[in-house]
Structure 1
Amino acid sequence: MLRALLAVLLLIGLHSPAHAQTGDLQTILQEHQAQIVKPSRSKVAPAIEALTASGLPEVPLFLEDWRDKNIWVADDGLFYAISGDTVTDITTRTDVAISKDTLTQIRPNGGVRRVINEALVQFQLSDPDITRRTEAVDAIARNLSPDQIAPLSGAIDNEADPALKLRKQRLLNYLTARYGDSTEARIDAIEALSSDLSVEGRAVLSQILSTRTEIAQTAPDGANIAGQLTPGEDLPRLAAYSQIAQAADLPPVLSDTDIRSALEQHVDGGKVAGVSVGTLSDLDARLTAYDRLSAEGTLPPRATEDMISQTLAGYTIFEIYDEPDAAITDAARTTQKAVNTRVGASQTADLALDAISLASIYFLAAIGLAITFGVMGVINMAHGEFIMMGAYTGFVVQQIIPNYTVSLIVALPLAFAVTFAAGVAMERLVIRHLYSRPLETLLATFGISIAQQQLAKNIFGTQARPLTSPAWLDGNLAFNEVISISYIRIAIFVLALIFLALLLFILKRTRLGLEVRAVTQNPRMAASMGINPDRIKMMTFGLGSGIAGIAGVAIGLYAKVTSEMGADYIVQSFMTVVVGGVGNVWGTLAGATMIGTLQKGIEWLNPSNTLAAQTYMILFIILFIQFRPKGIVALKGRAAGD
C-alpha cells in the first residue's frame, strides 16, 4: 500500500490534465494483451505508450513488476502480480485467492526490459527517493533520447537537491542541443555548451558534428558538406582509389603478392600467357602476363596507374555532416573550438598543479638532506629510511589513537622526535668517525639503510600499511571539470610552505641558524670564533633527519607505507639537492620545482611509460649539471670553492 501511495503522489505532479485516465489498468492491458503476453522490442511500444499516457497511479508499479518478471496472466486474460506465493490484484494491490499454478508467467527479454526501464524514467525523475531520481538521471545520461525532453524538463523546477537539479538542467541542455524543436533553440543550447568542459558536453558536440563519407562526381544536392578529402594530401592516393573503387564497383588495386599468386595458378609449359616464367622476376613482365590473362577473362581486371589517375580526377570524396542544418553545425563547430581552447588551457593549469604538488613532496623529502649535505658534506644514503621511519611512526600512532585528526596532530611532532633521535644516534655512532671520507660514508650509510629496511620488515612485515587521512582531507578541490587537486596534496603543499618559512626563520633569525651558516661557509673560522662544529653537525644531522620523518608522515597519507618507500625518494632527493644547489634552502625549492615540473611534463608527453619518463629526467639532469655544476642557486663565499 505504501508503494501505491507513493506512486499516486508521484503522478499527481508528473502528469498534466491532458493525460486523462481512459479506463482502469486491466482494460488497457486487455487492449494490448498480445503485446504484453508475448512482448518483443519492436512491437511493445504501443502498449508502453498507452500505459504511460493513461495517468493511472498503478502504472509505475506494474511496469516495475513487468520488468522484474513478477506479472502473470490467467486463462481468462486477466493480469496479476506475484511476490513469492502471494497473488495480488494489479489495480488494488490486494491479495486474491487464486492459485499460482493456474497462472502463466510473462518473461520479457532483455530488449523489452530496456524499453520498460526507459518508460519508468519519467516516473522516477520525480520520485520522492533521491536515489531513484539519481538512477533515472543516470539512465538518461547513458542513452540520450528525444522522448526524454518533456519528462526531464517537467522534473527540474520541483527538484530539491541543488546538485541533481544542476545535472538535470545540463542533461536537458544536451537533449535540446541534439533534438530541440527549432533551430534557434538548438543553437542557444549549443552556445551554452561553451562553458561546459565535461566529457558529456564535449561528446554532444562531437555527435552533432559527426560525419559520413560519400563519393560522387559532383557535390550531392542539399548536403551539409564538412569538406572534401584530397588524394595525396588528406589520404593516400591508393587508399582514396580503393574507397572509390568499392563504391563505384571498379577494378581493385592488386599488390605484387596478389599478382604473383594469381600467375602461379596459370603456368603452362613454362609460360604464363605467352610470357616465359624465367622473365617473371621483372615487374613489367608480370604485369604484362596478368593483363593478358585479364583480357582473356581468365583473371579479373586490375587497376592500372592510368585508371587510378583518371578515377581520382573524375570522383571526389566528400565528408558530409549527419546533421542537415548548416546553421547548427556552424554553431557547434564554433562552440567546439572555444571548448577545446578552454580545455587545453585547463589541462595546462591542471598539469601545473600536479607539478607544484609533486615539487612540494620532493621539497619535503629533500630539504633535510640539503641541510646535512650542505653543512657536513655527508652523502647519507639512509635518508630515505628516515622518511620510512616517520611514516611508520604515523601508522603506529593511528593504531593507538583512532581519531585520525588527533593522531595526525600527535604523529607529526612525534615523527620529528623519533627521527631526530635516530639521526643524532647515527651521527654520533657512525658519521662522526667518517668525516672527510666520502666513499666510506656512502658505503656505511648504504649499509645502514639496508639494515633499517630489514628491521622494518621484521617489525611490521612486508605488507603495505595504510596511513589514513582525516575525513576533512578526503576528496578533491575542483575548479572545473578538468582542473582538480586532492585535499591531501594541498595539505602537503601547505606543509612544505610552513617548513620553508620555519627553516628560513631558523637559519636567518636564530643563533643555531647563525652557527649553521658559519660552519657551512668556513668550519675552521667558525671554530676559531668559539662555535663547536661537532655540536652543530650533530644538531644539523638530527634536524635534517627529523624533517625527513615529518615528510614521511605527509607522504604516507597518500602512498602506502612499506619498508622500501624511502628508496622511492632517495634518488629524487639527491637530484633535487644537487640541481638546486648544495646547502641552500632556496636552491632546494628551485630544484624541487624544476624536477617536479620536468617529471610531470615528460609523463604527459609519454604517459604510458613512467620508467622511460624517469630515465629521460635523469639524462636531462646530467646534462644540466654539465653546464651548471654548482646548481641553480650556488653557495657564496669560501664554501662555494670547496
Structure 2
Amino acid sequence: MSVTRTHLAGITALLLALVAPLAAAAQDADAPIQRLLQEHSALIEESSRTSIAPAIDALAASGLPQAQSVLQRWRAKEMWRNEETGLFAFAEEIDRDTLRVFDFADGAEIGERPDDDWEQLKPNSGIRGMIGAALVQFQLSDPDPAMRNRALDSIERDPEESHLVALRAARDGEAEPAIARRIDRLERLLTIRFGETEAQRIEAIESFAGDLSVDGRAALTPLVATRIEPSETEPEGEDIYRTLRPGGDILTREAAYDLLVSADLAKPRIDRAAKREALVSNIDGGRVAGVEVAALDSEAARDMAYAALAQSGAVDAVATEAEIDETLERFFFVERYVGAPAAVALAAQEVLRGIEFRIWLNQLADLALDAISLGSIYFLAAIGLAITFGVMRVINMAHGEFIMMGAYTGYVAQQLVPGYTLSLIVALPAAFLITFAAGVALERLVIRHLYHRPLETLLATFGVSIALQQIAKNIFGTQARPLTSPGWLDGSLAFNDIVSISYIRIAIFVLALLFLGLYLLVMRGTRLGLEVRAVTQNPRMAASMGINPDRINMLTFGLGSGIAGIAGVAIGLYAKVTSEMGADYIVQSFMTVVVGGVGNIWGTLLGAGLVGSLQKGIEWANPSNTLAAQTYMILFIILFIQFRPRGIIPQKGRAAEA
C-alpha cells in the first residue's frame, strides 16, 4: 500500500514531537554556563526587576566565554527554556509553530523543534536596561576602540553601581590615552556616588577641585542637598549646615510654621482672608459667637471670635497669630545635609565653593570676551564712519545702509558662486566695489552740495537711507536672507565649559584688526592718506599745493563707504540680513566714533571697546530687558560726553579746530 504525502507529514510531525524532549535532554546540561543558569532559574523565570539583579550579576561576573552571548540573547528576547527539562537555549522562530534551537554551551544547532514545549523569556524594559548595564564590562574590553567609547557613552548616560567595578578593571589595561582619560574620569565620578567608603568618595571629590565641567558639578551638587527640620532641643551633629531663624528670606515665618504643622508639632493655621470669610459666614443677628460685629476691629478680637466658633464646633480649630509666634519661639530650625554622610557632604561643599569662585572668574572672562567680540563688530561697522564723519565731518545717516548693501552682496554672491568659501572670497571685493561706487555717487550727487551744513546733510542722508531700505525690500523682500558661513567657521573655540567664542566672531575680530592696519597704512603711508589729512586740516592750503579737494573728498567718502560694505559681509555671517539691519548698527557706530574721539582711529578702537563692554555689562546685569540695556547705554554715553565732549582721545592741532 502506498504512503501518501499527508501520511508522511503526519508521521514526521509525530517523530519530531517524540524526539524533541530527547534532543533537549541531549543538551550539555553539565556545561558551566548551563549550570549557572540553572542555579538562578527561579529568578530568571520570575523575571522581576526587583529580584533579577543577582542572576544578571552572576552571569556578568562569571568570566565564562558564553556569558556575553547569553546576556545579549536574553536582552534581545531570543532566550528560551524547555518546560520539560528546564534547560535554557537560544532560538530563532521559523514560523508560528516552529523554532530553530541552538545550545548555549557551544552554539551548536540542536535542530528545528515545535514551540509547544518551549517558553520564551521576554524581559521588560527595566530588566533589559539592567542587562545592558552588565554588558558594559564586555564592551570595555572589546578590541575595537569605537566599541569601548560607545560603552563609556552608555555609562555616562545611565551610570550604575556595577559599572564602577568594570571601569576599575578596564582602567589599567587601556592602551588608548584618550579612552584611558575618559575611563579615569568616569571612575572618579562614579566613585563619588557609589564609593564603598567615605575615604574613597572624599578622595574622588577632592580630585575635582577647580574642575569647571558640568558633569563634575552635577555629581557634586546632590551631595550637598539639605533639608530644614524643626527641633524642640538645640540641634547638634556634624551634618548641620546652618541654623535658621524664622522670618528671613530663607525661612519665612509662614514656611517655618508649616513645617511644624506637617510634622504634627503644631495646630494648623489659617490666613487672614479665610478667617474673615469664616467669621462672615457665621454672622447671626449682627453677632459672631456672641461678639458684636462692630467689635471685631482688630486681629486679636477676630482671633477670639474664631476660637469661640471652633470651641462650638462651627469651624476647625486653628492657631491664632499669637499662638503661632509663641510656638515658633519654642522650636529651633536647622538645615541638615541629607544627600550624603556629613564628611562627604562637607568635602563636596568645600570643593563646590572653590568651583563657584572659579566659575565667577570664568564668567567674568567670558563676559570680557563677549565684550571684545561685540566691540570688534562695532569697530568694523564704525571704521568707515570714522573716515566719513571723523575725517570729513559729514554726518552720513545712510552709513548703516552701506553695511546692509554689503551683506546683500554677500547673499547674492552665495547664490551665484558655488562653495561658501569661494563665494565669500568673491563677496568681499565685490561688496567693497559696489558700496564704494554707491558712496562716490552719494557724495557727487548729494553731499558735495551740503558741505559745512551738517543739519541739511543729516536730513538728506536720512532720506537716502529710507530710500535704500525700500529698494532692498522691493528686491529681496522683507524676510531675512541667509548668509551662510563656510564650514571652517562653524563651531566655537571652547576654553572650558564656561568660556567659549565662535569662530565667526574670531574671524570678525581678525578682520577688524586687518582693517585697522589697512587704515593706518593708507592714512599714514600713502599719498592719498597724506592728501586726505592735508585737505582735512586746511583745504585752501592743500588746494594751493596742487591737491584737488573735491577729488579727495570723493575718494575718502567712497573709501569709507567701501569699508562699510565689507563690514556688512562680515556682520551678515553673524547677524540676520534684512533691509533694516543697518539701523541696528548706525547708532552704535556714531557712539563709537564720538566716544572715542572724532577723527582718531585709536579713539574709535577704544570707543568700540567701551561701547561693547558697556552694552554687555548692562545686558548681564539686566538680561531680561534688552530695551532697557540700550536706554541705559545711551544715557551713559550722554553723561560721558558731558564730561569729555571731545572723546577719549581728542584730536590736536588744526584738525581739532576745524
Q: TM-score, normalised by structure 2?
A: 0.85
For 2:403 and 2:141, the matched residues in 1 are separated by 54
Q: Secondary structure at the residue paired with 2:410? A: helix
2:301 is matched with which residue?
A: 285
1:499 is matched with which residue?
A: 515
1:377 is matched with which residue?
A: 393
C-alpha spacing 1:103/1:397, structure 2 compared with 1 (3 Å): farther
Judge conservation of contact 1:208–1:332 (CA < 8 Å) in 2. Answer: yes
Q: Tell me which of 187, 199, 215 is aligned to 1:200.
A: 215
Alpha-carbon shift at residue 544 of structure 1 (Å): 0.6
2:90 is matched with which residue?
A: 80
Aligned 1:149-168 pairs, distance under 5 A: 149-159=164-174, 161-168=176-183
Q: Secondary structure at the residue paired with 2:335? A: strand
2:549 is matched with which residue?
A: 533
C-alpha spacing 1:225/1:283, structure 2 compared with 1 (3 Å): closer
1:6 is matched with which residue?
A: none
For 2:377 and 2:94, the matched residues in 1 are separated by 59
Judge conservation of contact 1:72–1:82 (CA < 8 Å) in 2. Answer: no
1:315 is matched with which residue?
A: 331
Alpha-carbon shift at residue 585 of structure 1 (Å): 0.8
Q: Secondary structure at the residue paired with 1:467? A: coil
Q: Secondary structure at the residue paired with 1:155? A: helix
Judge conservation of contact 2:389–2:395 (CA < 8 Å) in 1. Answer: yes
State, as a whole percentage, how many aligned pairs show the same letter: 61
Judge conservation of contact 1:507–1:516 (CA < 8 Å) in 2. Answer: yes
Aligned 1:513-552 pairs, distance under 5 A: 513-552=529-568
Q: Deviations over 1:551-602 (max 9, x none)?
A: 1222233334344333322222122122222222112111110111011111
For 2:189 and 2:369, the matched residues in 1 are separated by 30
1:435 is matched with which residue?
A: 451
1:173 is matched with which residue?
A: 188
Q: Tell me which of 455, 474, 478 is aligned to 2:490.
A: 474
For 1:344 and 1:199, the matched residues in 2 are separated by 14
Q: Secondary structure at the residue paired with 2:501? A: strand
Aligned 1:95-174 pairs, distance under 5 A: 96-98=111-113, 106-159=121-174, 161-174=176-189
Q: Does 1:183 align with 2:198?
A: yes
For 1:418 and 1:81, the matched residues in 2 are separated by 74
1:211 is matched with which residue?
A: 226
For 1:162 and 1:392, the matched residues in 2 are separated by 48
For 1:467 and 1:101, the matched residues in 2 are separated by 66
C-alpha spacing 1:75/1:182, structure 2 compared with 1 (3 Å): closer
Alpha-carbon shift at residue 296 of structure 1 (Å): 4.0
2:51 is matched with which residue?
A: 43
- Of the structure 1 ranges 327-336 and 489-498, higher mean CA displacement relative to structure 2 is found in 327-336
Q: Deviations over 1:598-619 (max 9, x none)?
A: 1111111122333332232223
- Of the structure 1 ranges 336-345 and 186-195, higher mean CA displacement relative to structure 2 is found in 186-195
C-alpha spacing 1:83/1:152, structure 2 compared with 1 (3 Å): farther
Q: Secondary structure at the residue paired with 2:208? A: helix
Q: Secondary structure at the residue paired with 1:232? A: coil
For 2:475 and 2:179, the matched residues in 1 are separated by 49
Q: Secondary structure at the residue paired with 1:334? A: helix
Q: Secondary structure at the residue paired with 1:214? A: strand
Q: Does 1:52 align with 2:56?
A: no
Q: Tell me which of 89, 93, 99 is aligned to 2:102.
A: 89
Letter in 2 for 1:55: G
Alpha-carbon shift at residue 290 of structure 1 (Å): 1.2
Alpha-carbon shift at residue 460 of structure 1 (Å): 4.5
Q: Does 1:363 align with 2:379?
A: yes
Q: Which runs of 5+ in 1 are unaligned?
A: 1-20
Instruction: Name the count of aligned residue pairs.
Output: 622
Alpha-carbon shift at residue 368 of structure 1 (Å): 0.1
Letter in 2 for 1:515: E
Q: Does 1:628 align with 2:638?
A: no
C-alpha spacing 1:609/1:72, structure 2 compared with 1 (3 Å): farther
Alpha-carbon shift at residue 436 of structure 1 (Å): 3.4
Alpha-carbon shift at residue 354 of structure 1 (Å): 0.8
Q: Which structure has the larger Rg over C-alpha atoms?
A: 2
1:18 is matched with which residue?
A: none
Two-structure CA RMSD over aligned residues (Å): 3.1
Letter in 1 for 2:102: D
- Of the structure 1 ranges 570-579 and 231-240, higher mean CA displacement relative to structure 2 is found in 231-240
Aligned 1:277-426 pairs, distance under 5 A: 277-322=293-338, 325-426=341-442
C-alpha spacing 1:580/1:69, structure 2 compared with 1 (3 Å): farther
Letter in 2 for 1:199: V
Judge conservation of contact 2:238–2:342 (CA < 8 Å) in 1. Answer: no
Q: Does 1:232 align with 2:240?
A: no
Alpha-carbon shift at residue 528 of structure 1 (Å): 3.5
2:7 is matched with which residue?
A: none
For 2:600 and 2:102, the matched residues in 1 are separated by 83
C-alpha spacing 1:503/1:277, structure 2 compared with 1 (3 Å): same
For 1:331 and 1:279, the matched residues in 2 are separated by 60
C-alpha spacing 1:461/1:300, structure 2 compared with 1 (3 Å): closer
Letter in 2 for 1:564: E
Judge conservation of contact 2:607–2:648 (CA < 8 Å) in 1. Answer: yes
C-alpha spacing 1:96/1:128, structure 2 compared with 1 (3 Å): farther
Q: Secondary structure at the residue paired with 2:334? A: strand
For 1:554 and 1:319, the matched residues in 2 are separated by 54
For 1:389 and 1:270, the matched residues in 2 are separated by 80
Q: Deviations over 1:187-237 (max 9, x none)?
A: 322221113111221222222222222222235665521121122345233
2:505 is matched with which residue?
A: 489
- Of the structure 1 ranges 22-31 and 251-260, higher mean CA displacement relative to structure 2 is found in 22-31
Alpha-carbon shift at residue 484 of structure 1 (Å): 1.6
For 2:399 and 2:175, the matched residues in 1 are separated by 55
- Of the structure 1 ranges 494-503 and 462-471, higher mean CA displacement relative to structure 2 is found in 462-471
C-alpha spacing 1:104/1:180, structure 2 compared with 1 (3 Å): closer
Q: Which runs of 5+ in 2 are unaligned?
A: 1-28
C-alpha spacing 1:468/1:257, structure 2 compared with 1 (3 Å): closer
Judge conservation of contact 1:375–1:519 (CA < 8 Å) in 2. Answer: no
Judge conservation of contact 2:133–2:160 (CA < 8 Å) in 1. Answer: no
For 2:34 and 2:575, the matched residues in 1 are separated by 61
Q: Secondary structure at the residue paired with 1:608? A: coil
C-alpha spacing 1:72/1:181, structure 2 compared with 1 (3 Å): closer
For 2:535 and 2:30, the matched residues in 1 are separated by 96
Q: Secondary structure at the residue paired with 1:620? A: helix
Q: Does 1:444 align with 2:467?
A: no
Letter in 2 for 1:51: L
C-alpha spacing 1:201/1:130, structure 2 compared with 1 (3 Å): same
C-alpha spacing 1:23/1:73, structure 2 compared with 1 (3 Å): closer
C-alpha spacing 1:53/1:553, structure 2 compared with 1 (3 Å): same
Alpha-carbon shift at residue 335 of structure 1 (Å): 1.6
Q: Does 1:241 align with 2:257?
A: yes
Letter in 2 for 1:227: R
Alpha-carbon shift at residue 95 of structure 1 (Å): 8.7
Q: Secondary structure at the residue paired with 1:195? A: coil
Aligned 1:555-566 pairs, distance under 5 A: 555-566=571-582
Letter in 1 for 2:495: F
Judge conservation of contact 2:600–2:651 (CA < 8 Å) in 1. Answer: yes
Q: TM-score, normalised by structure 1?
A: 0.87
